[in-house]
Structure 1
């Protein structure tokens, strides 16, 4: 467990802390060999190794929570209905967490994108 992530979660209101702590545990189980880090002021997971790419991040805001695959092309490829989305993430609330199938689809799409070399210079 990353102490910075613990501190981030501890500072949240109880409902958001519980929701993101549960999401954190789900992500850890789906990405067991990945490193837990803070990136862009949000908790997340990156691939192992010194040049491991960011796979996913999550954050709390005043009126919602968000999951961000650190890519502007992942979310538009996935049907996230009924959740509100932006180009870079999917929004949810403590009362309506992301279902496993959606979380797994986002992770699989991001990991496939990384494997295909997304973001590498030619």
Structure 2
């Protein structure tokens, strides 16, 4: 992918099979974080509240990732595992065939905001 300047450009440049998932993720994060500002940091679209990046996402060659504050991942670790998803300290990977459930995305975003203290 080339350097991007906004969320729409990022999604347009992403591999075609991932675009609907990224659009969905963007909409869910926008709804869960209504006062967040859309940003691009480290060539990834994200959502900032104050000085904290609360959530971001990315597309790779074979999967997508949702990146959050560490407390959000640990707080919902059982739900993430129950959904059959893989997580690291700050991220969850998924594919269009195994997306993150919508309600879990929204809970994760709110937990990430809380963990960031904003």
With structure 2 as the length reference, what TM-score do the two structures score?
0.82
1:6 is matched with which residue?
8
Higher helix share: 2
1:25 is matched with which residue?
27
Task: Point out where structure 1 has 5 or more consecutive residues left out of the alignment.
Answer: 117-122
Q: How many residues align?
A: 111
> Which is higher, the Rg of structure 1 or of structure 2?
1
Q: Structure 1 segments of 4 or more deviating over 4 A? A: none
Larger RCO (CA under 8 A, 6+ residues apart): 2
Task: Point out where structure 2 has 5 or more consecutive residues left out of the alignment.
Answer: none
With structure 1 as the length reference, what TM-score do the two structures score?
0.80
1:30-79, Cα deviation, whole Å (9 max, x unpaired): 212210011122101111xxx4311100000111110001x334312312
Q: How does 1:9-88 map to 2 (within 5 A)?
A: 9-47=11-49, 51-69=50-68, 71-78=69-76, 79=78, 80-81=80-81, 82-88=84-90
Q: CA shift at 1:108, angstroms?
A: 2.2
Higher strand share: 2
What is the RMSD computed on CA atoms of the aligned residues?
Answer: 1.9
